[in-house]
């Protein structure tokens, strides 16, 4: 099921860990709606400007899956409000360019409702989350070494 032009629901919920461990990572209606908004407001505009595919390595995580992958408690992934992404080929220098693009788009306001953009371990991947009203607006940029 297509959420936006270039993003499918399937890629937002699939997980090697859930497959291996038999965890049912089926999203609720509310989570599906959050995933659609995440794609519409954040991932698709970023992908349009980037001009190449963006790989989603982790989107929604049910509580059991979030625990299994060692996600933080109350992670935005639990709500369908966050995605871990990387550039095709997964080279840190490309991920860094993608990160910088996301930050500049957030600052100029072309990425609406961004909560956090996190550089995970020197651009191994990028965590990006959408503000859905659970917490105050943040527009936070973080580097995890």
Binding site for Zn ion (CB under 5 A): 84, 127
Least spacing, CB of residue 108 vs Zn ion, in Å: 24
Least spacing, CB of residue 81 vs Zn ion, in Å: 10
The candidate with the shortest Cα–Cα distance to 43, out of 120, 119, 110, 143, is 110
Least spacing, CB of residue 71 vs Zn ion, in Å: 7
Instruction: Decide: helix, strand or coil at residue 113.
Output: coil
51 or 70, CB closer to Zn ion? 70
Pairing of strands 125-130, 140-144: unpaired
Q: What is the DSSP letter of 16?
A: H
3 or 76, CB closer to Zn ion? 76
Which residue's CB comes closest to Zn ion? Answer: 127
Give the dihedral sign, CA 138/143/107/46: negative
37 or 109, CB closer to Zn ion? 37
50 or 76, CB closer to Zn ion? 76
Q: How far apart are CA 126 and CA 27, in angstroms?
A: 22
Q: How far apart are CA 7 and CA 39, in angstroms?
A: 7
Q: Are 96 and 141 in contact (CB under 8 A)?
A: no
The set of residues, in sequence order, having a beta carbon less than 8 Å from that of 72 and lying 6+ positions away, is: none
105 or 128, CB closer to Zn ion? 128
Least spacing, CB of residue 18 vs Zn ion, in Å: 15
Least spacing, CB of residue 39 vs Zn ion, in Å: 15
């Amino acid at each position: 099921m297509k959420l936006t032009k270039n993003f499918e629901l399937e890629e937002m919920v699939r997980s090697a860990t859930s497959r291996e461990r038999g965890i049912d990572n089926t999203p609720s209606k509310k989570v599906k709606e959050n995933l659609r908004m995440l794609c519409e407001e954040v991932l698709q505009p970023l992908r349009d400007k980037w001009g190449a595919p963006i790989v989603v390595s982790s989107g929604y995580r049910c509580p059991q899956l979030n625990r299994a992958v060692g996600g933080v408690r109350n992670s935005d992934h639990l709500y369908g409000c966050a995605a871990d992404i990387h550039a095709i080929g997964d080279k840190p220098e490309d991920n860094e360019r993608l990160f910088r693009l996301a930050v500049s788009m957030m600052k100029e306001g072309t990425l609406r409702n961004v909560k956090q953009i996190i550089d995970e371990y020197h651009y191994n991947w990028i965590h990006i989350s959408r503000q859905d009203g659970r917490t105050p607006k943040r527009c936070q940029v973080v580097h995890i070494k």
